Structure 1
């Protein structure tokens, strides 16, 4: 009996091994990879164009093969808005920066007093200005107590100043040398008896002890009433966003536009094309996985492209929370003039995905995607790299997609591969069923055999 059981388990193991042997031809798309740096682990920043070749939202049909067609052990580093750490909010001190009313083109000269730890105590103009000669040019923020990368700036200001506020953002660790961090834009607008406010500005995710905000439009700064900075855990800095190409949409009725994404994706941001100057559109965005499901609200906001002081002030993005969607619908309140009869193009952003694989065998290596039957085979990073730490990712070798071309098999070849996979699956189940029947027959035969008497 024991020998028969062992034989049955052996047959089961052989059947499972046969079923698990995947080849590059089992996948619809194969992309050559080039590797550089020291191995044996390599890290690939997966292009969105490659990700869209997958047939499974969770990338369960992604594989890496070597030159001999052998699958490589791999892990995926990806995140969504639901799982990502939202960071920590910090209230910070802010100090006014005054300058002469007719001074332009330079930052205000100031005298600064700080403690030995770098915390600001006082900021004063370098020279005394008479009343009416000075103007509030901007604000100096003390972030010296924050040791983590800065992700967002949140401002509030007195109600006397409505409209748009545009300013430059600079960072420093010593108050002498300043690095440009781009521009910020906040707004407080009234529309159809409703108030629309924009208080948050994205920062580049770097550390800095001080931030300097200098107003461009209007030329004088408003009086701030609240300043907060949001930082991220330095051990879990969010992966960057990757943007799609412009996607054409359709419009079934006035003020309603829809777009079909190539597959279900965890979308975190969308950007709507605003072709015409002086466009103003309060909008709501909805999404769903497929046409048979009801629309689910994703967010709302005010999109605009307005001319101010000879420049276009643009807000054409909506932030989402990483829900998986394949269809998007934008509904426009046409009291603002609408966005026209033709649907605008739309770009969507998802979090970047990294593929880390352990190179075994000879290259060149290739990335394979596109199978409805493949099961997820990725390992946890801590299993793939035994002494893994987030900082170690930057030290791994680098893999890149070799060239722009994506090699896609023909429909006939793909159908044949799927058919072969189906026959393998049928064969596997047949062997398993025969094994079970064989074991059951042997057990029944042994039970019926009369006991021997000594």
Structure 2
């Protein structure tokens, strides 16, 4: 009986394995891939438009196939805001940059004293300024002790009046040659007896020994604190991927809702502000589906204000990577609101990378869109022996060909689903027959009279 039992389970396992072999036709969407560089491993930056073809939030229904329709071993490089290393906060020294009030050059000329390691000791104007004619143009930050890419600048300051502080950011390693790093904006506002402050400025994620902040206004504020957030080069976060503009709806004054294509781990949203001089304290909530209650996600002040002929815009809210499919924005109407029609909204998720081991002949294709299959991705350490994070940059590169997603016809998709259903029915039938067969054998043995001695 033991031999028959083992044989029955073996046949059942073989049948289930054969039935579980997936084909491209089992998936609703197929995307052709092109590869370049040296294999056999290839890395694909998954476009958001392709990711949205999946039917499972965790991308369990993602597969890679070769030209013969054979599945390829693959791994996913993903990260969430909850598990990502947020970096290290560094308090740095800051030095004032003075110039004369009638100086024509925007960047003050200075002389510096530093140690052999590059740490600044003193920063003074290159020429003597008379008392009363010196104007504070900006600040020089000493980041020479930080040996990692700079991700964020955090400032605190004092000034005679509230408002926005706008400045340019430049980086240098020798205090002679400066590279522009974009614009910075911080703010301190009062609204309806509430204090609203913005201290953080995003940096491009590059290394630099010194930063120079130059104000647009004639006088810079007095800094009271300066910090720089840095990240280990081996643990740099994957970039954010932004969606196209998403239309919303409104059934109540001051409330706007948006439906996302699927459950996504959203980390930022950007709300369209059409009208100049818009000011809107807001609260953002989200949920996975309509039957669940709304959960608060973020709050802040959105604005588009005109100052000195320029628009000053803050239209983003930061989230913490919760999985949501519906978003609701509630606006404090005392700021004037955002109008009766719902503004469009863009959302950002952290990029996903697909790493696969090419086996067999190309061309290769990516398949998504099957709500019933189970996950098949491997850990990176299993897919690539002796894996280290820096090895990702050395892998061959795979890219989606064109912008279109080759979606199967309704007939083909229906046939694939029907085939999958018949496979399931067949497997369950085999399992049921095996159980009945074993039960019959056991019953027969129990009824058999004991052998006479």
TM-score, scaled to structure 1: 0.97
Question: Given the alignment of the two structures, is residue 393 of structure 1 paired with residue 392 of structure 2, yes or no?
Answer: yes
Per mean C-alpha deviation after superposition, the further-off stretch among 67-76 and 130-139 is: 130-139
Rounded to whole Å, the distance in 1 between the matches of 2:398 and 2:63 is 14
Rounded to whole Å, the distance in 2 between the matches of 1:294 and 1:159 is 43
SS at match of 1:268: strand
Question: Given the alignment of the two structures, is residue 179 of structure 1 paired with residue 205 of structure 2, yes or no?
Answer: no
The alpha carbon displacement at 1:437 in A equals 3.0
Would the aligned equivalents of 1:262 and 1:326 in 2 still touch at CA under 8 Å? yes
1:198 paired residue number: 198
Rounded to whole Å, the distance in 2 between the matches of 1:406 and 1:296 is 34
1:62 paired residue number: 62
Would the aligned equivalents of 2:298 and 2:318 in 1 still touch at CA under 8 Å? yes
1:414 paired residue number: 413
1:126 paired residue number: 126
The alpha carbon displacement at 1:392 in A equals 0.6
Paired residues in the alignment total: 453
Would the aligned equivalents of 2:159 and 2:222 in 1 still touch at CA under 8 Å? no
Rounded to whole Å, the distance in 1 between the matches of 2:443 and 2:362 is 53
1:270 paired residue number: 269
**What is the CA deviation profile of residues 25-68 of structure 1, one whole-angstrom value per residue up to 9, with x for unaligned ones?**
10000011111111110000000000000011000110001111
Rounded to whole Å, the distance in 1 between the matches of 2:133 and 2:199 is 30
SS at match of 2:38: coil
**What is the CA deviation profile of residues 255-285 of structure 1, one whole-angstrom value per residue up to 9, with x for unaligned ones?**
1111110000000000011111111111111
TM alignment of 1:33-48, pairs within 5 A: 33-48=33-48
SS at match of 1:70: coil
**What is the CA deviation profile of residues 279-311 of structure 1, one whole-angstrom value per residue up to 9, with x for unaligned ones?**
111111111111111111111111111111111
SS at match of 2:370: coil
Structure 1, unaligned stretches of length 5 or more?
A: none
The alpha carbon displacement at 1:448 in A equals 5.2
Per mean C-alpha deviation after superposition, the further-off stretch among 350-359 and 145-154 is: 145-154
Shift of the 219–10 alpha-carbon distance from structure 1 to 2, 3 Å rule, reads same
Shift of the 107–10 alpha-carbon distance from structure 1 to 2, 3 Å rule, reads same
1:301 paired residue number: 300
SS at match of 1:21: coil
TM alignment of 1:239-250, pairs within 5 A: 239-250=238-249
The alpha carbon displacement at 1:446 in A equals 4.5
SS at match of 1:267: strand
**What is the CA deviation profile of residues 206-246 of structure 1, one whole-angstrom value per residue up to 9, with x for unaligned ones?**
11111111111x23210000111111122210000000000
Shift of the 446–150 alpha-carbon distance from structure 1 to 2, 3 Å rule, reads same
Rounded to whole Å, the distance in 2 between the matches of 1:252 and 1:126 is 62
Question: Given the alignment of the two structures, is residue 379 of structure 1 paired with residue 378 of structure 2, yes or no?
Answer: yes
**What is the CA deviation profile of residues 338-397 of structure 1, one whole-angstrom value per residue up to 9, with x for unaligned ones?**
111111110000000000000011111111000110111100000000121111111101
1:436 paired residue number: 435
Structure 2, unaligned stretches of length 5 or more?
A: none
The alpha carbon displacement at 1:447 in A equals 5.4
Would the aligned equivalents of 1:270 and 1:318 in 2 still touch at CA under 8 Å? yes
Per mean C-alpha deviation after superposition, the further-off stretch among 295-304 and 11-20 is: 11-20
Rounded to whole Å, the distance in 2 between the matches of 1:326 and 1:103 is 55
1:95 paired residue number: 95
Rounded to whole Å, the distance in 2 between the matches of 1:2 and 1:409 is 47
Rounded to whole Å, the distance in 2 between the matches of 1:399 and 1:339 is 43
The alpha carbon displacement at 1:443 in A equals 4.3
The alpha carbon displacement at 1:452 in A equals 5.4
2:288 paired residue number: 289
Question: Given the alignment of the two structures, is residue 324 of structure 1 paired with residue 310 of structure 2, yes or no?
Answer: no
Tell me how large the CA RMSD over aligned residues is: 1.4
**What is the CA deviation profile of residues 70-126 of structure 1, one whole-angstrom value per residue up to 9, with x for unaligned ones?**
111000001111111111111111111111112244311111111111111111111
1:227 paired residue number: 226
SS at match of 1:441: helix
Would the aligned equivalents of 1:11 and 1:435 in 2 still touch at CA under 8 Å? no
SS at match of 2:280: strand
